[in-house]
Amino acid sequence: MVGSDFYTYCKKRFKRTDKETEFYEVLTDVIMDMKLRFKSEDFKTITTALTIDTLGGYTITLPTDFGHIIGDVVFQDSYRRSWPLHKISKERFDTLYPNPGASDATYEEPYWYCIYGKTIYIGPAPDKTTYTYQLNYTQEAATTMTSATTIPFTDRYRWIVRDIVLGEFYELIKNYDEAQFYKDKGNIGLQKIALNEENYVDAPTTVAYRDI
């Protein structure tokens, strides 16, 4: 559903028509919160375009929509070799490589990495600029919802998004009884979404299909 259709859908429960601006502000916050509360498959992606272009360089800027890493950074070279790098803390990285960009530093195939301040630190500094680095991550950049925006989750869970939005909306106008009612419904709905998403990626059993 686009924003205008979802707004019309919500007005069937929330009759006021003088809060459209506030509606989209609340909707933006709700969608962001839903993305943070469970790692939906809709917001997971992979990038293989990360490189270090300068010999002696050891940092990579993360994608602008980066939220949380899934798994580890994977090293790849031109010979089709690849392996996951080992994650360490920034403190540990600084202990191992107190001056990784020094002119007399030894460059090698990387083994360690850490994430700090929207940056990936690679150690030791790679000995080639042809290496690439792959990572899976959640996308958690906030997108402002508008009347023309396609609203996430509404293709499958529009009533749950509605209940969460209405819970926040009623709290905004200090109708706390209605706010609690819809928040409770919304939280139950979120539990259902989380269970559905978990079964989607990691079903406990498989189903065998066959011709009869």
Residue 15 pLDDT greater than 90, yes or no: no
Give CA 65 to chain center in angstroms. 8
Q: Over 60: is that where the pLDDT of 197 sits? A: yes
Q: What is the pLDDT of residues 84-93, one digit of tens each?
A: 999 999 999 9
- Same domain for 62 and 125, yes or no, is yes
Summary mean pLDDT of the chain: 86
Do 147 and 135 reside in the same domain of the chain?
A: no
Of the candidates 144, 139, 142, the residue with the CA atom closest to the CA atom of residue 66: 139
Q: Which of 45-49, 51-55, 96-100 has the lowest mean pLDDT?
A: 45-49
Q: Is residue 122 part of a domain?
A: yes
Which residue segment(s) compose the domain that 84 sits in? 42-139
Give the whole-number percent of the chain exceeding pLDDT 70: 90
Whether the per-residue pLDDT at 195 is higher than 60: the answer is yes
The answer to whether residue 188 sits within a structural domain is yes
Residues 29 and 10 in one domain: yes
Count how many domains the chain has: 2
Statement to judge: residues 77 and 120 lie in one domain: yes
Instruction: Indicate whether 182 and 127 sit together in one domain.
Output: no
Clarify whether residues 104 and 185 are in a common domain: no
Kindly state whether residue 36 falls inside one of the protein's structural domains: yes
Q: What is the pLDDT of residues 123-164, one digit of tens each?
A: 999 999 999 999 998 877 678 999 999 998 898 899 999 999
The burial class, CB within 10 Å (0-12 / 13-18 / 19+), for 88 is: middle
List the one residue out of 10, 2, 11, 14 whose CA is nearest residue 170.
14
Q: Is residue 161 one of the residues assigned to a domain?
A: no
Global confidence as pTM: 0.65
Confidence band (pLDDT; 50, 70, 90) for 112?
Answer: very high
58 neighbors 100 (Cβ within 8 angstroms): yes
Report yes or no: 103 and 55 within 8 Å, Cβ to Cβ: no
The tokens of 112 are what? 């360690």
As a whole number, mean pLDDT of residues 19-32 equals 91
Asked if residue 133 and residue 190 are part of one domain, the reply reads no
Residue 34 lies inside a defined structural domain of this protein = yes
Q: Contact at 8 Å (CB) between 60 and 134?
A: no
Gap between the Cα atoms of 86 and 113, Å rounded? 6
Amino acid at 168: E
- Among the listed residues 34, 60, 35, the one whose alpha carbon sits nearest the alpha carbon of residue 49: 60
Q: Please tell me whether residues 61 and 105 are part of one structural domain.
A: yes
d(CA 112, CA 122): 6
Which residue in this structure is represented by tokens 């079964």?
Answer: 199
Decide which of 177 and 40 is more confident: 177
164 inside domain: no
Alpha helices, DSSP H, located in the chain: 3-11, 20-37, 90-96, 154-172, 176-201
Q: How far separated are the first and last CA of the chain, in Å rounded?
A: 39
Per-residue pLDDT band at 200 (split at 50, 70, 90): low
